Amino acid sequence: MNAQTNISSDTFAIGGDLIVNRMGYGAMRLTDQPANFGPYPDWEQGKALLRRAAELGVNFFDTARAYGPQWNEKLLGEALEGLPDIVFATKGGIDKLSPTEMVKDASPAVLMQQIDDALVNLRVDQIGLFQLHWVDPNTPIEVSIEALAKAQAHGRIRHIGVSNVTVEQLRAAQSMAPIASVQNRYNVLERDQDAMIDLTASEGIAFIPYGPLGAHPMQKGSPLAAHAGQGTRTGTQSALRALLDRSPNMVVIPGTTSIKHLEENMGA
């Protein structure tokens, strides 16, 4: 994996000025399962888990409009309102209409409405990182990013990111505005983003791997756990440590609904 070892920095400055701890938290699973549709059934437990994450040093929380939809943003906003130095990253450009129906729409008007909704849901005056969740086949990425740049100019978002993109799409986005992050799928077994990681690292862009544990909890005997486990670390911890060691621009966002697993993740 061309791993870079002995990386000492535990933080990364997204966009050059938004300093986050490189072990973040991905909140997608704090919705009604298995379809990520509807509010998280144990709302108070979800709030307790998020607050525990903050106590453990997590200050970067990743969510999206489509998670719930909107319920995930609302849970984060309620749980973490008023805590210092919390950075919210949310995503727009897709929406969930039912447990089985999702629509891609990254037209300027839709993105502006989703930003407005996210500001209310997250209970903030500015979104730290707003990411284009998917490229809309009916809207050129340049048009979507131009709209986000206008929202940025008006102070509604601080930095712009992109997700599920190719290098060519990243370059097209960069032609319209500075891009602070790329969020693509990557873990120790799915490594086709190595070139993107090296490119973003060279340009000071955060790489946020989703599915860092294979998009499901690493159970004993799973291929990922067997591949990653080493020494006294659990398989989960070794897999996360491998990502953190891969490149200094890696900001990892494992998700869990268990405080015990959260604490294990932080042991990486």
Question: Quick one: angle between helices 108-122 and 71-80, nearest 10?
Answer: 30
Name the residue among 250, 76, 72 with its Cα closest to residue 92: 72
pLDDT in tens, 32-62: 999 999 999 999 999 999 999 999 999 999 9
Residue 238 has pLDDT above 80, yes or no: yes
Residue 215 near residue 190 (C-beta atoms within 8 A): no
* CATH class (in words) of the domain with range 34-183: alpha beta
- The CA-atom distances, in angstroms, between 208 and each of 26, 68, 128, 249 are 10, 21, 15, 8
Q: Output the pLDDT for position 6.
A: 37
**Per-range mean pLDDT, top range of 6-15, 91-100, 227-236:** 91-100
Phi, then psi, of 208 in degrees rounded to 5 = -115, 100
Specify whether 25 is catalytic. Answer: no
Three-state SS at 158: strand
The pLDDT confidence band at residue 9, using thresholds 50, 70 and 90, is confident
Q: Mean pLDDT score of the chain, rounded to an integer?
A: 92
Structure confidence at residue 143 (pLDDT): 98
Which tens digit of pLDDT belongs to each residue from 95-149? 999 999 999 999 999 999 999 999 999 999 999 999 999 999 999 999 999 999 9
pLDDT class of 226 with cuts at 50, 70, 90: low
CA-atom Rg of the chain in angstroms: 17
Catalytic: which of 40, 67, 186, 210? 67
- Is the Cβ–Cβ distance between 134 and 94 less than 8 Å? yes
80 burial class (0-12, 13-18, 19+ CB within 10 angstroms)?
Answer: buried
**pLDDT(218) > 60:** no
How many percent of the chain have pLDDT more than 90? 86
Residue 225 has pLDDT above 80, yes or no: no
Asked whether residue 235 carries a pLDDT value surpassing 90, the answer given is: no
